[in-house]
Amino acid sequence: MVNALQKSHADGVPADLDEAADLIAAYVRRILAARVYDVAIESPLDRLEKLSGRLDADIFLKREDLQQVFSFKLRGAYNKMANLDADSLGRGVICASAGNHAQGVALAASRLGGRAVIVMPLTTPGIKVQAVAALGGEVVLHGDGYDEAAAHARKIAAAESLTFIPPFDDPDVIAGQGTIGMEILRQHTAPIAAIFVPIGGGGLAAGIAAYVKFLRPETRIIGVEPDDAASMQAAIQADAQVTLDQVGLFADGVAVRRVGAETFKLCRLLLDEIITVDTDAVCAAIKDIFDETRSIAEPSGALGLAGLKKYREREGTVPGALIAINSGANLNFDRLRHIAERAEIGEHREALLAVGIPEQPGSYRRLIQSLGRRAVTEFNYRFAGGSQAQIFLGVALNKGLAEGREIAQALRAEGYSVVDLSDNEMAKVHARYMVGGRVEGIAHERIYRFQFPERPGALMKFLEGMSASWNITLFHYRNQGADYGRVLAGIQIPPGEEASFATYLERLAYPYSDETDNPAYALFLGASPAS
């Protein structure tokens, strides 16, 4: 999505920049004067040799994962706090955060000799709470998510006269993050085609764009957002700040429903484009970073590289370097299982197929013979009666998506029914672990995917609001080390009660999607052919 507000001159400078020269120059001065190096290092700009060779491009990674708190966030937090007057710093500071910003504020307070109160959601994983406490932060747990934690932090700030440290929407915070752009231009003096920046609230993108566009306006600054949390893209399209109803939480570091006013103003003016990527692309980028550096990025940290790869695939060869910001590495170890499972699909190295075969002896052998020497990565089946069996099949790919389509077409040519589930979220998260769940005699069943807050009482809240006439027919949950749980639930809803069920979902307020028409449900979990 190219920013429609930018009408570029032949020299690559948007017309808006001419009108906003004073604003940009003021930010450059702030960035040059930013106090970040009391706590931050000038992070390396590493060339990714393997990926550069594979994609035939000059690819670099800015290693903010190597900062003391494993994230860029300490730059903005420290700069904001270092610019407070002595009285404000002496009274103490407060912030709301589930992770990286919290650690940045706690570290800055310890270095500057002030008190830091950190309000974190009840769903925050213990490893992040412990990290903040170890840095001297006073942790207050409140609410199921950031919005509730932030509101509580504001109340405490007013009651105790503490200074609230915003995570992104503040000029000093933006300037602190902008020092990354200053370092990039100092570290790479050759031409830079584009810099890919993760966007949550927009502080990192705004700061880098302000500095780079001032000195090298020909360099494209491209924001990258998850496709299920694209709040900046939505704001630029609407030409105003908007609040998303809900955001996906996989890349929790950028799961922001509403971007800041100041960050929106700058990103609207300075960004050349926003690219969105899905979960599989992020997982593949995490694997790329590990293969190159033996370091593990958090999902939001790998977002920039995922966007870079998508841009390279779309644009082909471009003159100049492509640089991605690795914004952080605060990852729960438990999440690696899920990431590893999804990375192969994100790299287009695995196809997931639903294949119908005759329910008779010898069918397995004939199917495997049809695949030739291709490696089978998954094969799930359970007898369910009827004349046709449904196989959940994973096949390793060597040539990307085109090979997956060729395999599906070749199987169809041999008479098999084939549905490609490689892009089916329900199939990848739930159905692949539930093959064999088809039963007879279930009427009026609806299937929903939910995001439960990962805390005690979440399931009870789900159950307590349900009518006695609604029957749970299916339930699947698998811990993925995040601060939310992914749940697939089947519920029998008698005719005439659809409106009351819709009211229940609204009151429950858990993010959900209706999956009743999902082909993975019909093929593997729905009513048996014998029913």
Residues marked as catalytic: 73, 327
Query: What are the angstrom distances between the C-alpha of 324 and each of 58, 123, 197, 222, 285?
Result: 11, 30, 6, 10, 11
DSSP states of 461-509 = HHHHTS-TT-EEEEEEE---SSSEEEEEEEEE--TT-HHHHHHHHHHH-
Q: Distance (Å, rounded) from C-alpha 141 to C-alpha 139?
A: 6
501: which 2 tokens? Answer: 């069920």
First to last CA, the chain: 48
CA 202 to chain centre: 14
SS3 95: strand
SS3 460: helix
Q: Distance (Å, rounded) from C-alpha 313 to C-alpha 522?
A: 34
- HEC string of 384-427? CCCCEEEEEEEEECCCCHHHHHHHHHHHHHCCCEEEECCCCHHH
Whether the Cβ atoms of residue 102 and residue 142 lie closer than 8 Å to each other? no
The b-or-e profile of 350-378 (16+ CB within 10 A means b, else e) is: bbbbbbbbebeeebeeebeebeeeeeeeb
Which residues are CB-contacts of 219 (< 8 A; sequence separation ≥ 6)? Answer: 192, 193, 194, 195, 212, 213, 320
